Structure 1
Amino acid sequence: MTIPVDKIGDPAVRAFVSALNANDPEAFQAALTPGATMSDDGSDRDLQEWTEKEIFSSRGHMEIESAKDDGRSLVARYRNDTWGEMRTAWRFVVQDGKVARFETGQA
């Protein structure tokens, strides 16, 4: 069973996932604070390079399996054209109504 994006508790995370699934880089950027950071499998990455490669040019998409911490901790089936589908965990730090940091990795 999946959780609809509009049921994610935190509005900033909801905007992040909606923009990702819509493949909308402008809306995605608008969901982030200036200077937002991220990590993948425990290693900090360049957010712009990573999102272009892992989300936008490879048509990334999340299907939410579970949500905790008012939607700031997600487990999702994530797929893109590069890697196919994998079960991933996502953790978000929200500041001033936007995502300031996200961490992802295999679940």
Structure 2
Amino acid sequence: MSIPAESLSHPAVRDFVAAVNAGDRNAFADVLTPNATMSDDGSERDLYQWAEQEIFSAHGRMDVESEEPGGLVLVARYSNDTWGAMRTAWQFTITDDEKISRFETGQA
């Protein structure tokens, strides 16, 4: 059973998941700091290039299975048109102004 995006604990993470699932590039960018970074399976990636390829152009979707207390660590079934579905882990770093400055994802 998945957790709806609107039920996630942390507002920035909630907005991130909602933006991914809606395919909303502007909402996605709005929740990130200007210099946000990310890694995928331990490899640093260009965040916006990765997002375009893995989320927006490939119709990415996160079905959150669980979240750690505080809501900054998720396990989600991630699917897109390129790779199909896989179980993934997501960890978020949040700034004082409630923006995501970094996220790390990879297979769970």
TM-score range, shorter chain: over 0.9
| Count of residue pairs brought into register by the alignment | 107
Residues 8 and 70 in structure 1, CA contact (< 8 A), matched pair in contact too: no
Residues 4-23 of structure 1, C-alpha deviation per residue, up to 9 Å, x if partnerless?
A: 11111110000110000000
Per the alignment, in what secondary structure is the counterpart of residue 19 of structure 1?
helix
Question: What is the match of residue 20 of structure 2?
Answer: 20
The offset of 1:27, in angstroms, is 0.5
The offset of 1:37, in angstroms, is 0.2
Hey, what's the Cα distance between the residues in 1 that align with 2:25 and 2:69? 26
Residues 63 and 78 in structure 1, CA contact (< 8 A), matched pair in contact too: yes
TM-score, length-normalised on structure 2? 0.97
- Amino acid aligned to 2:99: K
Question: What is the match of residue 78 of structure 1?
Answer: 78
Per the alignment, in what secondary structure is the counterpart of residue 58 of structure 1?
coil
Hey, what's the Cα distance between the residues in 2 that align with 1:105 and 1:69? 20
Hey, what's the Cα distance between the residues in 2 that align with 1:62 and 1:79? 7
Question: What is the match of residue 4 of structure 1?
Answer: 4
Hey, what's the Cα distance between the residues in 2 that align with 1:8 and 1:76? 12
The offset of 1:69, in angstroms, is 3.3
Hey, what's the Cα distance between the residues in 1 that align with 2:69 and 2:28? 21
TM-score, length-normalised on structure 1? 0.98
Structure 1 unaligned segments of length 5 or more: list them. Answer: none
Structure 2 unaligned segments of length 5 or more: list them. Answer: none
Residues 50-85 of structure 1, C-alpha deviation per residue, up to 9 Å, x if partnerless?
A: 000000000000000000031110000000000000
Hey, what's the Cα distance between the residues in 2 that align with 1:46 and 1:18? 21
Hey, what's the Cα distance between the residues in 2 that align with 1:55 and 1:69? 26
Structure 1 residue ranges, 4+ long, deviating more than 3 angstroms after superposition: none
The correspondence of residues 34-73 of structure 1 with structure 2, limited to 5 A, is: 34-73=34-73
